[in-house]
Each structure stands twice: as C-alpha cells, then as structure tokens.
Amino acid sequence: AMEDACAKFVSQKISKARWRPLPPAALQPPDLFATGSWDNEDNRISVWSAAEVGNAGLGGECQGEPQLLCDIRHDGDVMDMQFLDQERIVVASSTGTVTVFRHHQNNQTLSASQRWEKAHYHVDQDTSCGGAACTGVICNKPEIVTVGEDGRINLFRVDQNAAVRTIDNADSSTLHAVTFLRTTEILTVNSIGQLKMWDLRQQRNEPSQIFSLTSDRVPLHCVDRHPSQQHIVATGGQDGVLSIWDIRQGTMPVSLLNAHEAEMWEVHFHPSNPDHLFTCSEDGSLWHWDTSTDVSEKPSFLLQGGRSTAYFSHSSVNQSVVSAWLNNDPAKDRIEITNLVPNQTLSVNSLDVLGPCLVYGTDAEAIYVNKQLFA
C-alpha cells in the first residue's frame, strides 16, 4: 500500500533506481541505493541513504525519508544502471557512452572512474556523428555487457579500455534489455518481440536460440531470469503483458499474463524469494505478483489499507512453487496481484527489490522506499 512507502520529491524525472548489493554475509537490510534521471536539462546520478526511512508511525504514515549522500552530473538520459560491486555503478547513456562511477564512501563523493565513449553508435550517413542509445547494461564482475538501439552487443571488462568482444550486427532491431542467464550466456530482448540467447564462448555472432512472441511482434522492453530456476524467464513489453518463458522447451512463452494498461518498463524476480515478482509500468502502477501460497487461504486485502488486489482463479491445486510460474492453465494459476501504487498517475519507470525493501522511481519526480515489503 502507498502508506508503506516513503516518498522523496527530487525535482528530477527518475529513470532508474537500484539498491547497492549487500556483502555476501550481510544480515542487515540494504541501506544505500542509487538513482539516475532522464529528460531533465541536467541529468544526475545520485546515491541515497535509506537508513532514516523507518517503520510506519502511529497513524500508519511513513517516518523519515531517503537522504541524498552525493550526486554527479550525467551526460544524456540514464537508460540503465547497475551496481558492479559495493563501490562502482555502471551507467548506460542515451548518448551511447557507458560510464563507471565510483562512490567514495569516506567523503561521500561520486567520480567517473572509467568511460567507454560511444560504445553504441549508428553508422548511417545521417547520424555519423552521433551515438546510439545504450539501452541496457548488466554486470557480472569483472564483466559488463551492454546492448543498444544500434543492435550491438558489447562485452567489457572493468579496467580494460577496449571491448573484449563486440557483436556488431547482433540484431537488426533495437535491443532493449539484457540479462545474464549463466556466467557465459546472456539473454536479450528486442523491439520485434524476440528473446534471444547468446553464448559468449562461441565465436559465431549468432544467437544460440531465438524465442518469440506470437506474430504480433510486440516490442519487449525488459527481461529477468528466475534466480534459482534459470530456465524460467520473465519479459514485459509495450502492451503491458507479462510473459513467462521456459527456455528448455519450445520457442514461445508458456504463459501470457495480462498486466498493465501501457508499456511495462521493468520486471524483477525477488532475488532471494522468487515466488514474488514485481513489474512497473507507464500506466503509473507497480504490481507485486505472489505465487507463494494458496490464494483461498489468504486474507483478502480488498477492504484494508487502500490495497487493490486482484486474484486469479481459486481452484485448489497442490503444485510446487517453482511450477507456479510455468503453469499455463489459467484456471490453475494461483497468483495474487497487488498494486503497490494505487493512486499514481505518471509512469513508474524503475524498481528494485532486495530483502524486505523496495525502491522505485517515477516521472512524477519522486523516489519511493518501502522497507516492509512482506509485512
């Protein structure tokens, strides 16, 4: 519910929000996150502390708000952003440049520590001077993979000046997003509704597998894979539909779940609790998809706390949690969906989940933090 989230108005349209990863043995919830902005005269990368964001007050209102620790100017719109490690953030720009920013925690400053200029660029005459937007970046330290609207895939290694590998004509259409499937394999989604798998060990510049939506060719904007069941992949696209794929079988999605009324910008499985999935959209909503328990045994939140909850079907079936995402019989689907942003009007562009914490950013020039996701 909205009351659980603390808002911070930042006079910047927020395009990306990411939690800083926790050290391997950490028990505490995440406390730092970064944001990137877009469509402003002066775009910025900012690092925030969520430590002050407390539990709800007596009236249910949120106490404390995120505190700005430091920020730095960014050239172009922030198209994507990922933490490489505890200190470094990799940022994809609409100019085609990819920059690694270092967060200096001793004096709370940000500096650009590495930059690959025009990692993505158009080669036709009209735009010979200009870069092509770098639309997606994913990190698996020390490796960084980027994709762009030029259909190019780059593999960088931090501290190396040149790309380790470039697949120039990986796609004839815009690549919108990328994620690691395994250490040596990546998945990309494009603007004609295709999900492609690439094996970086192969010298061939061809995908090892191509999956596609039906003949509609609806552009896909985002992709994430299940953290423990790596064959389960979720994508979202221009029509707001959530597609679940089993990349072990077939070339089409196992299920298409009607979701948002406009473009879905991001989809994320919860990294440690993947029965839970989160999607956000241009329509101003952020949905929490929960396959974890028997819906019929759940209390209904319809009348409490302004939550708008939609239940998919109620037939009782004992199925493993894992297969809940792969169940392609809608009558058996037991997914509880809660819109965590009931009254938002402008686009929710980005979200990230870690532990009990959610952060999201909007075109309403605000960032929101909810530290009681499963309360």
Supply the pLDDT for residue 329.
55
Q: Is residue 217 part of a domain?
A: yes
Give the burial class of 125: count Cβ atoms within 10 A of its Cβ; 0-12 exposed, 13-18 middle, 19 or more buried. exposed
SS3 125: helix
List, for residues 41-91, the tens digit of each pLDDT value: 999 999 999 998 876 565 656 678 999 999 999 999 999 999 999 999 999
Is 309 inside any structural domain? no
* Of 154 and 255, the one with more pLDDT: 154
The answer to whether 81 and 45 are in contact (CB under 8 A) is: yes
Q: Please, is 197 exposed, middle or buried when counting C-beta atoms within 10 Å of its C-beta (0-12, 13-18, 19+)?
A: middle
186 occurs within a structural domain:
yes
Tell me the β-bridge partners of 239: none
Q: How far apart are CA 19 and CA 320, in angstroms?
A: 30
Above 50 in pLDDT, residue 226? Answer: yes
303 in a domain, yes or no? no
* 165-167 vs 43-49, strand pairing mode: unpaired
CA 325 to chain centre: 18
Is there a domain that residue 78 lies in?
yes
CB half-sphere exposure, 135, CA atoms < 13 A: 25
Query: pLDDT band for position 25 (50/70/90)?
Result: confident
The answer to whether residues 363 and 346 touch, using CB atoms and an 8 Å cutoff, is yes
DSSP 301-366: -TTSTT-EEEE---------HHHHTT---TTT---EEEES-TT--S-EEEEEEETTEEEEEETTSE
**pLDDT of residue 166 exceeding 70:** yes
Cα angle value 191/193/198 (rounded, 5°): 85
Q: For residue 199, what is the domain's CATH number?
A: 2.130.10.10
pLDDT at 169 over 50: yes
**Which of the two residues, 39 and 64, has the higher pLDDT score?**
39
4 three-class SS: helix
Quick check: is 149 in a domain?
Answer: yes
- Phi then psi for residue 51, to 5 deg, are -60, -35
What is the length of the chain? Answer: 375
- What's the total number of domains in the chain? 1
DSSP at 295: G
Using only C-alpha atoms, the chain has a radius of gyration, in whole angstroms, of 20
Question: Which of residues 361 and 4 earns the better pLDDT score?
Answer: 361
Query: Which domain range does residue 88 map to?
Result: 5-54+62-121+130-294+321-370
Three-state DSSP class for residue 239? coil
The pLDDT of residue 294: 54
Does residue 304 form part of some domain? Answer: no
307 lies in some domain:
no
pLDDT of the residue at 3: 56
What is the average per-residue pLDDT within 368-374? 91
Mean pLDDT of 27-53: 94
Cα torsion 223, 224, 226, 229 to 10°: value is 60
